[in-house]
Chains A and B, each alone.
Chain A
Amino acid sequence: MKRETLWLQLRRAGALALVLLLWEGISALGWIDPFYAPPPSAIGGAIAELFVEGDIYEHLEATFGAALLGLFLGLIGGALLGFIAALLRPVAELLEPVMAMLNAIPRVILAPLFIIWLGIGIASKVALSFILVVVLTFFAVYNGIRDVDTRLVERVKTLGGGPLVLLREVYVPSVVAWVMGSLKVAVGFAFTGAVVGEFVASSRGLGYLLAFAQSTYNAALTFALIVLVLVFVMILFGLAGVLERYLLRWKYR
């Protein structure tokens, strides 16, 4: 890591520690009601308890499973649909308005429908994650292919390349670049889908725990779960960043 970035991270961590310390202090003085905003130590305690008692693991597994499967299927599905729509005019004519409509609405409103169709198990959560990610990826790929650099296309053609070579050398790498560009947003979407789906109706998962915490007015547990989701999404962001820098090394090296 470069010196300046290290220094920046240090300052950020310092600022965060300061805020937490202030919060703790104000709580100790009794200026804020722990019923609404429990002190950081109580939230930390709640997190520790989740892991010590060990029942958090099945919930993590449920949420991660749904989010990652939804992400995977959404990326593949969106890329394929975007690809086909960009290359075949009639498909685009059918698909674009549907996707545009899905893009315009807050797609989480589909959660109740998926639960009616697919039950309260993991399938409905995967479906919600999928629908969030697939629309995003579709547009990234569809627009990406439509403004692929025509000079590259002509170059490969004049070197004698046919459709297959064009696909492999120009279109697929362009698509990868576009998908990578929206990968982090997609990760966030996938978790939104899984957690919201669980929140609406489920028997497992971080969203289920959140609903439980809310119904028992347990603010410490709620904060603890929010922090957990935050941490895991940050870790996935980091991984997405590593993958991006590897696949797009021609851009970042």
Chain B
Amino acid sequence: MMLDIRGLQMSYGTEPVLENVDLEVKPGEFVSLIGPSGCGKSTLLRALMGLQKPSAGDVYLGLTRREIGLLFQDDALLPWRTARDNVALGLRIRGTAKAEARRTAMQWLDSVGLGQFGDRYPRELSGGQRKRVAIAQVLALRPKLLLMDEPFASLDAIVRHYLTEDLLDWVEKEHLTVLMVTHDLEEAVAVSDRVVLLGNGPRAHVKGRWEIDLPRPRDLLRVKEERQFAVTARALWDALSEEVRAPAARQRTETEAATP
């Protein structure tokens, strides 16, 4: 197992945000995590990264933290470093010599389609290009596991589509293991081997799992014509809707009970 979470509980104050969360990810699997906004998806990733301590439960990682790559929605590049030096930064931190790190960084920028932009500062790049730099920065460290938190949420549909496609290519080619938080259900079905639904919080836990055994490598556009895609996407939609509506429903019954 690459990643094994058992009975995880996470709290900020007194009431736990997550409770009794079980989740496992096998090597080479692409797992997507969906759930109502604010249910604790980001908190779960923070626990995996060791940025925040669980209040109960176990997190088992089948690799070292250095083998994990992270992509977040609001990934920030250093504004005072060029695209090339931003990509080289991770390598430099891990002890690669400057010239060597820069050379490698340029190769990675090239492979995300930004070979011409090595000398640009982040301010001089578009949102999509900055995201590509962030991807190059992470991939350059050759991670075995990618943790992503709504990585492309702030980008427009077309840019998002091509980024997802490129990333999927890379993941399939390198057999990376991925755990991705997303709010795009179709994207989740299209790219994943498994989709996990986290219920609404507080005390959120896993409410459902969907295996998606569409063949790989997948074509992001083609896969949407498959019958299994439509069926699963619909099932996810229904399940998520129920979770999102649940707090309102609960409140209604409570009000009804209070007024005879």
Contact = CB atoms under 8 A, between A and B. Distances in A.
Contacts of A251: 79, 123
Contacts of B75: 151, 155
Interface string A196-217: 0000000000000000000000
27 contacts: A149-B76, A151-B74, A152-B76, A154-B51, A155-B77, A155-B78, A156-B78, A157-B51, A158-B49, A158-B51, A159-B89, A159-B90, A159-B93, A159-B141, A160-B90, A161-B89, A169-B78, A173-B78, A173-B80, A177-B80, A249-B121, A250-B79, A250-B81, A250-B82, A250-B121, A250-B122, A253-B121
Interface string B157-179: 00000000000000000000000
Given A160-B66, A160-B94, A170 B78 contact: yes
B94 A152 contact: no
B66 A155 contact: no
Interface in B186-235: none
A161 B93 contact: yes
A170 B79 CA distance: 10
A169 B123 contact: no
Interface string A140-162: 00000000010110111111110
A151 B76 contact: yes
Contacts of A149: 76
A156 B90 CA distance: 8
Interface size, B (range): 20 to 34
Contacts of A161: 89, 93
A251 B80 CA distance: 8
Contacts of A154: 51
Nearest to A162: B93
Contacts of B51: 154, 157-158
B122 to A, nearest CB: 8
A54 B1 CA distance: 84
B70 A158 contact: yes
A173 B82 CA distance: 13
Given A159-B89, A159-B93, A169-B89, A250 B76 contact: no
Nearest to A174: B80
Nearest to B74: A151
A39 B172 CA distance: 82
A90 B58 CA distance: 36
Contacts of B182: none
A231 to B, nearest CB: 33
A21 interface: no
A239 to B, nearest CB: 21
Nearest to A177: B80
Contacts of A170: 78
A250 B123 contact: yes
Interface of B: 49, 51, 66, 70, 74-82, 89-90, 93-94, 121-124, 137, 141
Interface of A: 149, 151-152, 154-161, 165, 169-170, 173, 177, 248-251, 253
B2 to A, nearest CB: 18
Top 9 A-B pairs, shortest CB-CB distance: A151-B76, A159-B90, A250-B121, A250-B80, A173-B80, A160-B93, A161-B93, A158-B70, A152-B76
B137 A159 contact: yes
A165 B81 CA distance: 14
Given A151-B75, A253-B124, A156 B80 contact: no
Contacts of A157: 51
B254 to A, nearest CB: 38
A104 to B, nearest CB: 33
A250 B119 CA distance: 10
A90 to B, nearest CB: 26
Contacts of A165: 93
A155 B121 CA distance: 17
A251 B79 CA distance: 8
A177 to B, nearest CB: 8
Nearest to A151: B76
A156 B94 CA distance: 12
Nearest to A169: B78
Nearest to B77: A155
A250 B121 CA distance: 6
Nearest to A152: B76
Contacts of B76: 149, 151-152, 155
Given A248-B80, A253-B124, 5 more contacts: A155-B78, A156-B93, A159-B93, A250-B81, A250-B121
Contacts of A177: 80
